[in-house]
Structure 1
Amino acid sequence: MLCAKSTLSPRCSSCREDPPMNPSRPPTDIHALPVELLTWIFELGSAFDYPYTKSPFLLKPDQAFIYLPSHNFQVVAHVCRHWRAVALRTQHLWTTLHIREEIHIERAEEYISRCSASIYTFDILIDTVAVEDHIPGITLYSHELERIFKLLLPVVHRWRTFHLKVRDQECKLVARKYLTSCGPGPKLETLQLYHFEDFRSSDGLYRATYKPPVTIFNNALPCLKNVSLIGVNLPWKESLYLTKLHHLELALHLDSVRPPYRWWDRMLRGSPNLGSLSLHYSGPKKQDGSSELSWFSIDKKISLPKLHELSFTDLDPDFLCRLLERLQLPSLKRLMLDLREQDFTPFIDFLTSPPEHPHPASISATLPPPTQHLSSELPVQYIGRLETLIIRGLDCGLTNWAALLRTTQSLRALDVAFAKTSPDFWKLFTHEGDAHVELNRCNSAKGRRNPALLPHLEVFTLSGVSGKDILSALCYRFRCLSQSVRRSEKWIVRWSDRRRRQDPELDALVDKGYWTPTGKDATVKVFIDTFDYTEDIEGADDETPSTSDEEEDEK
């Protein structure tokens, strides 16, 4: 549809000016397109690489914000006079206000002036830095944050998404000042507040947490659907808008600032359409014997009929057991676990034990009397219906790892960072060492004869495994799978061109894929795809907040 000269680059000299008109021959290139069609193309282009496709939250507690090229699509306004005129009238182009540097403040001001129609709403992201990282004239700190809020508050009634990241107390105080006085947010659908800093001392931690949480947006957020609070807490009792949610993420909360269970119960029970729940060192406050903090009995389960995605990071095993036994999750399809530095054998056992089996002795003292299986929906049942399992880290026994894989036989996608698990976990896929003993034990317990793991698997994403071991697993897997369930699969491995020649077997798999004979001169191909990231698989991300000594004491 677009001619070769219709590049988005302003260097295209032939497109900077309007094309010469030949009255005897109608134009046939892009300049012949009706304005309505060109406007539609601009709107489609601005939505390319839509940042909310996978999640409504742009900021992650364990990684830096990823800037997408599509955020600069407004460059179409600089191609030629005709395009500029159309672009300036296409108000949808000017609704993304991502402010990460000081120069972005003036850009946001210009965008707001170009998007004057009240029917259009704004997607806002503000990414500030700590004072030691602040570069005047470039990065954002408290003074720049003041300017940003003064610019945005007049259109607060048109905010659709609002993401704010602060890294120290000065910026936090500015945010509190304006969010408590900005008035209602009648169209706000997504709210993400991120505060994490290096407290450096117990005094710093005290100054960051001693002030009580404040009321924001006048407690008037009638359209709110998605909430992410990372290191930020709210006055839970008064925040009645924390219901009717579709996505909820709570991260990096000391137990002292977490919601008591009664408000946790209100939040979830009042959100029957909740689709995803993510807890990263957060959740309801632990019991301390007082009636104010007591948890409801397990027969008062919270039903979340539409919750399909669940994520747990850095939580205690007994806490997870107590939490899950109070939930009913009949539609759960995706589970992400990042559980390290403790033995999570009791939790995995809780997930995979059939009803007639008691809970492990290690957690029996923390659980109520054995009425946990009165519900028709048990952990082992909804875990058995999972379609996607993601393991970012897991410490548990080999027997429990085998039981988890055997329980999740319906999996279509498995993603495991094997460098952050036990070295023996990978051996289940190659039938080496003691792993086959545990595998056969699981098979015998469940009356299965087919030793193949995950017969319905379609995509296997893995890292921390050598090419030689991957090849061994491929050979073993397709030898075990019966003829009736053999199909093409995709294995996605961590690799990039800069890693070439470090692992010749892996290089060969990436270049050629894997073919295996199936009999009668037929073969099945395993597609080998790749992914890569800059952080060391053995360590944490550069942006991963480290837990302070004071936080460890809270745990």
Structure 2
Amino acid sequence: MIVCRQWRDVAVDTSVLWSRIRMGTRHPFERARVKLERSKTVPICVGVDFSPRVEYGSVSTESLMLAMDLLRPAIWRWRTFHLTVPNRPQAHAALTRCREHAPLLEVMSVRICNSMQEDHFSRAPLPLFEGYTPRLRSCSFTSFNFNWDTALTTRLRVLKLGGYWNAQSPSVDVVLGILRASPYLEELALRNMSDVETDSCSMSDFDPSEQDSFSERLVHVADARPVQLPRLVEASFYYCGNVRTRTILSLLSFPALERIELCFLDNVSPMLEHLRRQSLTRLPLRHLHIESSYFNEMKLVRLLKRLPALNSLEFVDADDVSSNLLKIFAAPAVAQTWVCPKLTSLWLEGCTSVDWEVLRAVVESRLPAQSRALPPQKMSKGTSTSSASAHILSRVPAASSSSGYASLIGPRRLEHLNLSRCHQISKEMVQWLRMYVSEVKCEPTKGAWGEPLMV
């Protein structure tokens, strides 16, 4: 961009404009050198991205070390640091340059792209930054072994761990030790980890009268004391092992949890039971996401009945979502309260067992009183519509049959509905839903080449 000399001088002298520094295969070193000089003494955000790309060929370790040597004198100014490299040896080589104190560092991320690769670099170059990161609040490690150093996680607000396979995956004791050292944690994410092996000696603890709690003792835990996380607001468990997840949840106390995701964990019924037990004291859960997992329907119903603040419920590829489950969201019986009265967003993506009549009843029962008397849309005489389609579109929501306290304190109206890949829902049904729900998402099932499949 061409500007006058005065504006150029203003830009050059404004140090904060040069505080974002990127280095890597797509970012020339000379530009980073200029930004380091012009940023002077202001805190800087550093990104070192040497992710492997076909168009750039293999990543040279020498180039990576040159980049780290250029950034090393400014470590004391780093506010955020993001490192992306192809493999563990290169990550460990780059982090050997991180020896000076980082008094301003708040966010740190280390991502190793080839997380499945086995190598001999299993120990990290500790201590990073000489162990001096007083402002560090967020850490995200993908396949990077930091020796599970609890000194690095003591004051964290956000912790994300992922990409640990086979021998690199952390044990339950390691994860619990990190969580105990992070009492101020607000967000936790465990993603893509090999599961731990069950402990055969735990079978001696099995009491047939307590089958629900048996799952909590599949792994021997050195320290079985509860882990208090009073500030934890968001938790995500994505393909991180069924045994690991339910053992950790059985020992956690999270009275402030508002969002939780359970994805690719096989049977999540034990996790749902742990959430229900937490709700006996306090659980202000607002968002529940279950993906590619199965569960006991009754345990989920027991949990949902104890979540009055829930406003977002998402199911993705969950075959256990049936019409019986959805019926609990319709008008309750006399003298009973609504289940999840604040629910405004419902995802049923890939849930092909949901019946149309039950779904329609849920939408109708949660409409405000003035919306139940809306006239149906008039059909033009020239359009050829089947009798079934005409019946669906001419359907007028009926008034709720509930009475008593439940009718006085009604639920909130559904505002978002996701029916993607639900082939049992026809276009006419979607049209009817869109008359009473603000946003209805309905994408067809796609083939290998992205073409819609006709079911």
TM-score between the two structures when normalised by the length of structure 1: 0.59
User: Aligned-pair distance for 1:145?
Assistant: 1.6
> Aligned to 1:183, what secondary structure does the other structure show?
coil
Counterpart of 1:295?
Answer: 221
Counterpart of 1:113?
Answer: 37
Tell me, in whole angstroms, the C-alpha distance in 1 between the residues paired with 2:429 and 2:361.
Answer: 17
Relative to structure 1, the CA distance from residue 479 to residue 527 in structure 2 (aligned partners, 3 Å threshold; closer, same or farther) is: closer
Match of 2:146 among 207, 215, 234: 234
Counterpart of 1:25?
Answer: none
User: Aligned-pair distance for 1:337?
Assistant: 1.3
Counterpart of 1:337?
Answer: 262
Contact persistence 1:329–1:382 (CA under 8 A)? no
Counterpart of 2:13?
Answer: 89
Contact persistence 2:315–2:351 (CA under 8 A)? no
> Aligned to 1:323, what secondary structure does the other structure show?
helix
Contact persistence 1:97–1:108 (CA under 8 A)? yes
Relative to structure 1, the CA distance from residue 108 to residue 318 in structure 2 (aligned partners, 3 Å threshold; closer, same or farther) is: same
Contact persistence 2:342–2:411 (CA under 8 A)? no
Relative to structure 1, the CA distance from residue 274 to residue 384 in structure 2 (aligned partners, 3 Å threshold; closer, same or farther) is: closer
Counterpart of 1:171?
Answer: 90
Match of 1:455 among 341, 352, 357: 341
TM-score between the two structures when normalised by the length of structure 2: 0.70
Contact persistence 2:255–2:283 (CA under 8 A)? no
One-letter code aligned to 2:267 = D
Tell me, in whole angstroms, the C-alpha distance in 2 between the residues paired with 1:192 and 1:296.
Answer: 30
Counterpart of 1:247?
Answer: 158
Relative to structure 1, the CA distance from residue 284 to residue 485 in structure 2 (aligned partners, 3 Å threshold; closer, same or farther) is: same
User: Aligned-pair distance for 1:339?
Assistant: 2.9
> Aligned to 1:415, what secondary structure does the other structure show?
strand
Deviation readout 1:69-125 (Å, 9 max, x if unpaired)? xxxxxxxxx566554443333322221223454334333222222211x2x211122
Match of 2:318 among 421, 424, 427: 421
Deviation readout 1:479-530 (Å, 9 max, x if unpaired)? 33446324444206488xxxxxx97458757xx9433xxxxxxxxxx32176
Contact persistence 2:430–2:440 (CA under 8 A)? no
One-letter code aligned to 1:217 = F
Contact persistence 1:134–1:140 (CA under 8 A)? no
Contact persistence 2:80–2:106 (CA under 8 A)? yes
Unaligned runs of 5+ in 2: 202-218, 367-406, 449-455
Contact persistence 1:261–1:284 (CA under 8 A)? no
Tell me, in whole angstroms, the C-alpha distance in 1 between the residues paired with 2:157 and 2:447.
Answer: 34
User: Aligned-pair distance for 1:262?
Assistant: 6.1
Tell me, in whole angstroms, the C-alpha distance in 2 between the residues paired with 1:247 and 1:231.
Answer: 17
Aligned pair 1:124/2:46, yes or no? yes
Tell me, in whole angstroms, the C-alpha distance in 2 between the residues paired with 1:347 and 1:79.
Answer: 60
User: Aligned-pair distance for 1:426?
Assistant: 5.5
Unaligned runs of 5+ in 1: 1-9, 11-77, 353-377, 496-501, 516-525, 540-555
Match of 1:527 among 424, 427, 438: 438
One-letter code aligned to 1:185 = A
Relative to structure 1, the CA distance from residue 129 to residue 281 in structure 2 (aligned partners, 3 Å threshold; closer, same or farther) is: closer
Aligned pair 1:135/2:52, yes or no? no
Aligned counterparts, 1:42-441, within 5 A: 83-116=7-40, 118=41, 120-130=42-52, 133-136=53-56, 141-169=60-88, 171-179=90-98, 182-197=99-114, 199=116, 205=118, 207-208=119-120, 211-215=122-126, 216-236=128-148, 240-254=151-165, 256-258=167-169, 264-282=175-193, 295-298=221-224, 300-340=225-265, 342-352=266-276, 378-381=277-280, 384-417=283-316, 420-422=317-319, 424-425=320-321, 427-428=323-324, 431=327
Calculate the aligned-residue CA RMSD, in Å.
Answer: 4.1
Contact persistence 2:172–2:244 (CA under 8 A)? no
Identity within the alignment, %? 21
User: Aligned-pair distance for 1:167?
Assistant: 1.9
> Aligned to 2:243, what secondary structure does the other structure show?
helix
